[in-house]
Amino acid sequence: MMAVAPPRRELLGTTVHAVGLDEALQWLRDRIASHTPGYVVTLNGALLVQTARDPALRAIVNEAAMVTADGIGVVLAARILCVTGIRRLAGIDLASAACAQAAVNGHRIYLLGASPGVAEAAADALRARYPAIQIAGTHHGFFAADEEASIIDGIRQERPDLLLVALGAPRQEQWMHRWLATVGVPVAIGVGGSLDVLAGRVRRAPGWIRRIGMEWLFRVLLEPRRWSVVRTIPPLFLLALRERVRRGVWRPSSRA
């Protein structure tokens, strides 16, 4: 049975699905059962700004089987544009829950990306947390172009059900779009820095900070290099406000 995509919305020409964690996990189960390759984009504010300005990248995101609102910037942009139903679903929360679900359902997972050693550490941490989990393989994300063919062949041979791709945006989205059908994995999820979190290399914000939408500030304080991502938030709001005025949208709408 083909997995039914959650309700679609549109922000600045980019698809975002109105989906929470439970719905996303059900979609993952159905998609894996259908054996039909599809990739998931965890869209944050920085990537949304890029897609608004880059038609080619926007097309890649819009071809995803599911797009979640990873960052609070996406949720706030939806509010500015009076688009309802957009809920934040952080990539790390989806990745963690997907791994837990895979352990229960016997699905095999492949971890691709992050710095050398991180994917292996994440795999070890997942095995410690979920003894029944099946890690099909791992590979770091610092590979050269001439190594790509052997990596793809390795993933094909391991036949995972779920591929977590942590190459950073937009590289991971471009990689999934280009290679998912070739590797033959039912579901690939672009997870950004989630492997570092799963490996224990990066600490998440406390729950109360995440609940008030300030996790981005916590991450910047821990990793000042991420300030370049934060700088995209004001341009995103300006883009959303300009689009709201252009469309003359003043009432909430759930239509794409």
Model-level pTM greater than 0.85? yes
Residues 29-77: tens digit of each pLDDT: 999 999 989 999 999 999 999 999 999 999 999 999 999 999 889 999 9
Query: What confidence score (pLDDT) does residue 86 get?
Result: 96
Q: Which of 129, 137, 196 is nearest to 163 (CA)?
A: 137
Q: Show the CA angle centred on residue 7, arms to residues 163 and 61, nearest 5°.
A: 45
What one-character-per-residue DSSP string does 161-186 give? SEEEEES-TTHHHHHHHHHHHHHT-S
pLDDT category at 201 given cuts 50, 70, 90 is: very high
Instruction: List residues bridging with 123 in a β-sheet.
Output: none
Q: Show the CA angle centred on residue 47, arms to residues 192 and 146, nearest 5°.
A: 55
Residues 112-151: tens digit of each pLDDT: 999 999 999 999 999 999 999 999 999 999 999 999 999 9
Q: What are phi and psi of 162, to 5 degrees?
A: -140, 130
